[in-house]
Amino acid sequence: MVDLKGKTAAVTGSTSGIGLAIARTMAKAGANIVINGMGDPVAIEKERAGIETDFGVKCAYSPADMTKPAEIAEFIALGEKTFGSVDILVNNAGIQFVAPIEEFPIEKWDAIIAINLSAAFHAIRAVVPGMKKRQWGRIISTASAHSLVASPFKSAYVSAKHAIAGLTKTVALEVATSKITCNCVSPGYVWTPLVEHQIPETMKARNMTKEQVINDVLLDAQPTKEFVTSEQVAALMLYLCSDDAAQITGTNLSIDGGWTAE
């Protein structure tokens, strides 16, 4: 069992989906939590309070906009000010858009690169000094099977996720002697709002029905023919926070039902 008592985990994009599962899993292991994301304030407060009630830890909320470097720095500063440290950083915030390259809106490209890639850089840059000072840290980014392989109509997302894998390797080398590890986890298709919301776009781009998109596009990529669950992703990240995982760094760990084995 991984014991994170006395640690603080800051998780971007954690008011729903994979990020919320990660936050709750870290809290269950005893970590105080900083959640982040956008959405209905009442729903967010319910999730924040629920983490405290369910697991007996403290949970703060940051509304930091992941396209704004200053707000990302404030997100890390909030955790340090509130709990004394940010020991675990999970870069999970992400958005998606599906369109042919010649029709891909420039503003969508810019937003996806900002949130899926640049936000991780800014958060890592802000958190590393404290981790070095304490000589302990875990940095984990949610990449994707698309960090290893491509799919049509996802130029920005695939580019960002490939870059996350490269950023992970670089940071791991830089912090290797400070007892800080840096890894990324690459899920296949996880049934989350992000996946659900891209189905209509994919239906349009490929001229398919919803059922065809699910079975012939999404699950076709995964030999197990099952969606990965948010809880499975969170469990892998929790393991990376353990002492047993202290020598796992600079890696890209696939959890994709065999997608990238083909």
Digit-coded pLDDT (tens) for 36-91: 999 999 999 999 999 999 999 999 999 999 999 999 999 999 999 999 999 999 99
pLDDT at site 218:
85
* Average pLDDT of the chain to the nearest whole number: 96
Question: Which contacts of 71-79 are long-range, i.e. CB under 8 A and separated by 24 or more positions?
Answer: 72/119, 72/122, 72/123, 72/126, 73/122, 73/126, 75/10, 75/12, 75/34, 75/36, 75/123, 75/126, 76/10, 76/123, 76/126, 76/127, 77/126, 78/34, 79/8, 79/10, 79/34
In CATH, 8-189+229-261 is 3.40.1280.10: no
The 10s digit of each residue's pLDDT in 91-104 is 999 999 999 999 99
pLDDT at site 262:
86
Cα distances from 31 to residues 51, 52, 55, 87, 99, in angstroms, run 11, 11, 9, 9, 40
Percent of the chain with pLDDT over 70: 100
Contact (CB, 8 A) for 98 and 108: no
Q: Which of 61, 157, 189, 239 is catalytic?
A: 157
Tell me what the mean pLDDT of segment 118-134 comes to.
98
**Given pLDDT bands bounded at 50, 70 and 90, which one contains residue 221?**
confident
Checking if the pLDDT of 194 tops 80, the result is no
Annotated active-site residue 157? The verdict is yes
Tell me what the mean pLDDT of segment 146-170 comes to.
97
The 10s digit of each residue's pLDDT in 171-187 is 999 999 999 999 999 99
Contact (CB, 8 A) for 21 and 234: yes
Task: Read off the pTM.
Answer: 0.93
Rg (CA), the chain: 18
- State whether residue 232 is helix, strand or coil: helix
Tell me what the mean pLDDT of segment 164-174 comes to.
98
Cα distances from 171 to residues 23, 138, 152, in angstroms, run 23, 11, 29
Pairing of strands 8-11, 88-91: parallel
Contact (CB, 8 A) for 164 and 143: yes
**Given pLDDT bands bounded at 50, 70 and 90, which one contains residue 196?**
confident
**Given pLDDT bands bounded at 50, 70 and 90, which one contains residue 201?**
confident
The domain locations on the chain are: 8-189+229-261
Checking if the pLDDT of 193 tops 80, the result is no
For 138-142, 174-178, 205-209, which range has the lowest pLDDT when averaged over its residues? Answer: 205-209
Contact (CB, 8 A) for 141 and 167: yes
Cα distances from 174 to residues 73, 140, 177, in angstroms, run 20, 15, 8
Percent of the chain with pLDDT over 90: 90
The 10s digit of each residue's pLDDT in 245-256 is 999 999 999 999
